[in-house]
Structure 1
């Protein structure tokens, strides 16, 4: 989003007019930014036989999925529902990797019936899978490499205490299960967490995965997950994808010489592709001055953007309506009946009641984690594509809240 003559624009469109047309609170996504991030990955990994599998949990709106499918991207899903949304958006089942956690075996069977690529992350399910399918259905195995990587502890998923993946210390057990049931393993997978900054940390996990891969003679792919860091503040360090691509290519070529073939290399970016493409617009309802704090209370809350309260995540906030106003210090809060804080002691251009504020990095885990807490409606979503604003989800109404409720006949 650019500031041009005191006017905020996305692909040349005045965002204040977008908010006037569709109302607030409002999620807006920029396909140009998604494509820009995708091109960085493609350029950085072009020396590898790579495939990109978008991690759908970041943002599952069908229009966004359709856009990514048209860019030649595959899909990584963690539930049958995400898989079905992907198929509605045009993804073929063979291009969808199903990586659930702690689901019933019945959900695994449903995924098999759909024709998804199955990724198994615990020995119990692996045993049931082998008993049921033998070598008739291939699978991938998710490894826990015992690496602490990523930002907030709540999004670190590759360490020894994590519920995700099969421990590298259990590989002998894994091979016994595979051999006993004649399971056909065609892929090896890992994901260590989000906000990985250093290529060295990613490569440490990659080399562990290469060592494990050498134990499986007929792999079609090795999946390194994702977790690439994006910028939340101006000047934030980010993952140097180009450097990672160079170093990973060197490690991959050495692995292939030992392995004797060239499996595909898969990546699963979610937040990396859509975070910076998303903007969340809200209206300032009240300016409340207490003896200690100046609050801006907006027409949204943690029911629409839970990350600041859940992860202590930082989202840059700007005053779109009055960008040249005198700087003031505010704490920006929501309308939910909880401690509901978006940002503490933020320097913003003077905020007046009725002004429109924007939260940056709202493409990933904003709408996808939204709720109806306090019986509030979830906002509309708009996609900006080739200079036009498209409504891709209507704002909820009371009918949406009551649709599945069954009143008692008293």
Structure 2
């Protein structure tokens, strides 16, 4: 079916043309948005020695890592594989913070061998680290402040029941291990979760961290993680980055005066940098009318974007190929043999078979959490830089599904 040309564009590039050139479904990232988000943070924290570490797990495509590195920031990784991607993208080892959680100690040893700064989040690993490295390799500690923050329990990580971090209530145990092995603790880290909109939650966390920091005389930095909330739809509350930067900077300066010297202030944004840059473009396979609901079934599913089913996440959906059609309510569903809903009761311009729908805010934890469920291939990825669309991941094929399977004679 042919549709009239529309002006839904990214950096002047017609998104319908993108689906014709690169196929559908396809993830498209706007490089300008990533740059703008980085500049917002630099401006908000201009009063301190700020180090930004991009939380790579949000979107690990190597071309995105190269693009982020070009903006002059570092990276935070959670696995040896992410670390190797970062190294291949051109980051120096000292620019990569390795913060694993609950991993076998061999992964930490691999991080040390790669020359990465290590951030430990449990006493067992700290004990092993001290026994093997003593004072020969500095380490930072991820602490759990026992503070509940954020809008979703599944992505809140700083509360007392979370698996992440060493509880601040175990300070005496940390100190005993540090003293036993003469461990050099050069940084403290806290990440309380995602989608935190209240500035007070960050400041409360900071005060907890400052109270703990005075017990560690060799610190070079304090890392406040991230969790900055972005808007998913009109009217959504967001983190006031400027106000947070102002308050946290002031608190940090006061602490440094008490501590006796200036330290680095670090943050680790992931979703904040890439979420709003990303759009998932899909085609409508079928429009299915029932007595009570109209379904728009698309050529994608939770295998490509799991956030709505996993987190009840909202992604704004636009019919980019029929923007003037009469508005109707639809349930937008995927093609996976599973309950697979992208959005319910969504008011969209009339949806027809073959239409192109755009899922907004799909840059973070979209492709990076995708799978081959139902033995379906993953989509292509495209990065738009200076008005030019560049393919940064080829669409998978059936051969990719078979690639690592071993077919034996039965």
Gaps of 5+ in 1: none
Structure 1 Cα separation of the partners of residues 166 and 210 of structure 2: 15
Superposed CA deviations along residues 25-80 of structure 1, whole A, max 9, x for unmatched, are 00000000000111100000010111000000000000000000011110000111
| Residue aligning to 1:205 | 205
- Kindly state the Cα deviation for residue 409 of structure 1 after the two structures are TM-superposed: 2.2
Query: For residues 11-410 of structure 1, what are the structure 2 equivalents within 5 Å?
Result: 11-410=11-410
Do the aligned partners of 1:57 and 1:270 also contact (CA within 8 Å) in 2? yes
Q: Distance in 2 between matches of 1:32 and 1:235?
A: 23
- Aligned pair count reads 406
The CA distance in 2 between the partners of 1:185 and 1:296, in whole Å, is 54
Counterpart-to-counterpart distance in 2, 1:253 and 1:43: 17
Any conservation in 2 of the 1:321–1:355 contact (CA below 8 Å)?
yes
- Superposed CA deviations along residues 321-361 of structure 1, whole A, max 9, x for unmatched, are 00111100000000000000000000000001000000000
State the alpha-carbon separation in 1 of the partners of residues 247 and 174 from structure 2.
30
SS of the residue corresponding to residue 381 of structure 1 reads strand
Q: 1: CA distance between counterparts of 2:311 and 2:261?
A: 42
8 Å contact kept, 2:101–2:121: yes
Contact 1:306/1:366, CA 8 A, preserved across alignment: yes
Give distance in 2, aligned partners of 1:120 and 1:126. Answer: 7
Indicate conservation of the 8 Å contact 1:6/1:324, yes or no: no
Secondary structure of the equivalent of 2:276? Answer: coil
User: How far apart, in 1, do the equivalents of 2:392 and 2:250 lie?
Assistant: 42
Cα distance per residue 1:102-159 (max 9 Å; x no partner): 1001000000000001000000000000000000000000100000011211001000
The answer to whether the 8 Å contact 1:295/1:330 transfers is yes
Looking at structure 1, the residues matched to 206 and 70 of structure 2 have their Cα atoms a distance apart, in angstroms, of 29
The answer to whether the Cα contact below 8 Å between 2:6 and 2:14 also exists between their aligned partners in 1 is: no
1:257-276 CA distance string (max 9 Å, x none): 11001110000000000000
Q: Secondary structure at the match of 1:117?
A: coil
SS, match of residue 161 in structure 1: coil
Q: Secondary structure at the match of 2:29?
A: strand
Mapped partners of 1:170, 1:240: distance in 2: 32
Per the alignment, do residues 311 and 295 of structure 1 end up closer, same or farther by CA in structure 2, a change over 3 Å counting? same
Deviation at 1:188, TM superposition (A): 0.2
CA distance in 2, matches of 1:98, 1:41: 22
Q: Deviations over 1:373-394 (max 9, x none)?
A: 0000000000000110000000
* Structure 2: segments with no counterpart, 5+ residues: none
Question: What's the CA shift for 1:235?
Answer: 1.9
Distance 2:82 2:150 in 1: 24
SS of the equivalent of 1:302 reads coil
2 CA distance for matches of 1:111 and 1:390?
Answer: 32
Give the structure-2-normalised TM-score. 0.98
Structure 1 residue 245 displacement after superposition: 0.7
Kindly report the root-mean-square deviation, in angstroms, between the aligned alpha carbons of the 2 structures.
0.7
Distance 1:149 1:363 in 2: 23
Q: Matches of 2:259 and 2:175 in 1, distance apart?
A: 18
Displacement, 1:299?
0.2
Helix, strand or coil for the counterpart of 2:315? Answer: coil
Give the structure-1-normalised TM-score: 0.98
Cα shift at 1:6: 4.4
